[in-house]
């Protein structure tokens, strides 16, 4: 196939550029989130993340100190201070909305009634007046300023420690680890039985499990919730572990059976001839050989449980102590809709672990996908 593409350099150029565009389209959203989560809170709220590397030049309207802070010196009333809270550089200023950028920094601008205004490059200003300043609010100062790009980890420390995401991270771990490991074991035995043991009803069982693969989760929630209440399990970790185990089982059995059924018959039969029991064969031969399939399922299940919101919402109480990360993100979206520094940092914390798992174990994930979809049903 490569040689076909190679024959025409124009075609190969088009292919490369199109692929690049596609990749950019698919990565930019996540990239934007990452960049935004590292930006200074005020800058994040006032300019797009794509401008984050350039100094931001902005027109702002600030106010001087209020008249009650004025100082009199030799019959001249003065108000002074600094327009910047976080530093920056003034490129122009003005005192009326008609000419907001009318004066260079450090120039003394004449205002009405003999008043003057002067703003220095570093943002410090001085207003003078022959008569006392009146009113309750300070004078408006129109400035044009350049702010250096600022990056910080403050957003992360805030979400982890002040917003309770740290606790949620632990809760998610608590849900995910057992809910990933337990189904593997149960499913592996069943997969072996379905692949290599003879018993009546085997075909029906397998077909039933394939059918259960697509049963919508929504279906199970209400009956299970009622069942849990009736037998008194309540909303606890054990309930959610079992639920995730059950919801993962059809896929686990299906994937593992496909793989185990594909193992060479000779190995298993020669072991049987040597007098090994099914249990021994399973433990000593099947389990080690099926490692790739076990790993594939483990990754699926891990990602699924880690990213799940629905099951956690239904089976865990919505309290500070048990809220998982997805649940926390949902709450934040509701209550902190505009606080993008919190949302972006929290979202990144929640996708960080799955991304690591994804990039380090992608091989197994792909293999699992292929064995589940291309060969089987």
Query: Binders of another protein among 198-217, rule CB under 8 A?
Result: 198-199, 202-203, 205-207, 209-217
- Give Cα 244 distance to the centre of its chain: 22
Strand partners, 119: 125
117 vs 256, which CB is nearer to another protein?
256
Residue 182 structure tokens: 């337990």
The rounded distance, in Å, linking the Cα atoms of 4 and 251 is 39
CB of 360 to another protein, least distance (A): 11
Q: Which of residues 52-71 bind another protein (CB under 8 A)?
A: none
34 vs 154, which CB is nearer to another protein?
34
DSSP-assigned letters across all residues of 200-223 = TTHHHHHHHHHHHTT--HHHHHHH
- When asked if residue 1 is in the footprint of another protein (CB under 8 A), the reply is yes
Which of these, 117, 138, 129, lies nearest to 68 by C-alpha position?
A: 138
| Count of residues that interact with another protein, criterion CB under 8 A | 118
Stretch that binds another protein, among 1-9, 89-97, 113-121, 130-138 (CB under 8 A): 1-9
Q: Which residues contact 111 (CB under 8 A, 6 or more apart)?
A: 95, 117
List the x/- string, 91-110, binding to another protein by CB under 8 A: --------------------
Kindly tell me which residue out of 61, 153, 267, 369 binds another protein, with binding defined by CB under 8 A: 369
- When asked if residue 366 is in the footprint of another protein (CB under 8 A), the reply is yes
SS3 of the chain: helix, strand, coil, percent, to 5: 60, 15, 25
Stretch that binds another protein, among 72-80, 113-121, 143-151, 337-345 (CB under 8 A): 337-345
List the x/- string, 228-267, binding to another protein by CB under 8 A: ---------xx--xxx-xxx-xx--x--------------
Stretch that binds another protein, among 91-99, 102-110, 116-124, 325-333 (CB under 8 A): 325-333
CA 110 → CA 61, 62, 75, 95, distances in Å? 18, 18, 18, 9
The rounded distance, in Å, linking the Cα atoms of 14 and 342 is 40
- When asked if residue 336 is in the footprint of another protein (CB under 8 A), the reply is no
Kindly tell me which residue out of 80, 91, 152, 174 binds another protein, with binding defined by CB under 8 A: 174
22 vs 162, which CB is nearer to another protein?
22
The rounded distance, in Å, linking the Cα atoms of 173 and 167 is 10
Which of these, 95, 92, 120, 94, lies nearest to 106 by C-alpha position?
A: 120
The rounded distance, in Å, linking the Cα atoms of 178 and 243 is 11
Kindly tell me which residue out of 5, 61, 76, 162 binds another protein, with binding defined by CB under 8 A: 5
Q: Which of residues 272-311 bind another protein (CB under 8 A)?
A: 277-279, 282, 303, 306-310
Kindly tell me which residue out of 32, 81, 149, 292 binds another protein, with binding defined by CB under 8 A: 32
12 vs 82, which CB is nearer to another protein?
12
Stretch that binds another protein, among 44-52, 112-120, 135-143, 149-157 (CB under 8 A): 44-52
Strand partners, 108: 118
**Dihedral of the CA atoms 190, 195, 198, 201 (nearest 10)?**
70
């Amino acid at each position: 196939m490569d040689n076909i593409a190679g024959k025409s350099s124009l075609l190969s150029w088009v292919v490369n550029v199109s692929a690049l565009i596609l990749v950019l389209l698919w990565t930019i959203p996540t990239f934007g989130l990452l960049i935004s989560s590292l930006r200074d809170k005020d800058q994040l709220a006032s300019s797009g993340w794509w401008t984050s590397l350039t100094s931001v030049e902005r027109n702002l309207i600030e106010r001087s100190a209020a008249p009650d802070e004025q100082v009199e010196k030799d019959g001249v009333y003065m108000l002074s201070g600094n327009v910047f809270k976080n530093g920056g550089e003034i490129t122009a200023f003005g005192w009326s909305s008609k000419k907001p950028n009318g004066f260079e920094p450090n120039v003394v601008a004449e205002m009405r009634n003999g008043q003057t205004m002067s703003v220095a490059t570093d943002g410090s200003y001085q207003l003078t007046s022959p008569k006392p300043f009146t009113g309750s609010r300070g004078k408006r100062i129109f400035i044009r300023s350049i702010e250096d790009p600022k990056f910080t980890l403050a957003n992360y420390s805030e979400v982890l420690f002040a917003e309770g995401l740290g606790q949620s991270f632990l809760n998610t771990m608590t849900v995910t680890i057992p809910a990933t490991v337990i189904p593997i074991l149960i499913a592996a035995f069943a997969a072996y039985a379905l692949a290599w043991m003879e018993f009546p009803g085997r075909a029906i069982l397998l077909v039933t499990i394939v059918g259960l693969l697509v049963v919508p989760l929504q279906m199970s929630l209400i009956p299970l919730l009622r069942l849990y209440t009736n037998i008194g399990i309540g909303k606890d970790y054990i309930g959610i572990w079992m639920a995730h185990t059950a919801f993962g089982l059809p896929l686990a059995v299906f994937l593992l059976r496909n793989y185990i059924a594909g193992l060479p018959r000779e190995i298993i039969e020669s072991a049987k001839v040597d007098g090994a029991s099914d249990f021994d064969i399973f433990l000593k031969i099947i389990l080690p050989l099926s490692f790739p399939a076990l790993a594939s399922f483990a990754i699926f299940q891990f990602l699924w449980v880690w990213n799940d919101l629905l099951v956690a919402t239904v089976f865990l109480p919505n309290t500070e102590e048990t809220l998982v990360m997805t649940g926390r993100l949902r709450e934040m979206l509701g209550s902190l809709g505009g606080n993008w520094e919190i949302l972006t940092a929290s979202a990144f914390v929640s996708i960080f672990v799955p991304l690591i798992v994804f990039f380090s174990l992608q091989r197994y994930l792909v293999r699992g996908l292929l064995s589940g979809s291309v060969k089987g049903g």
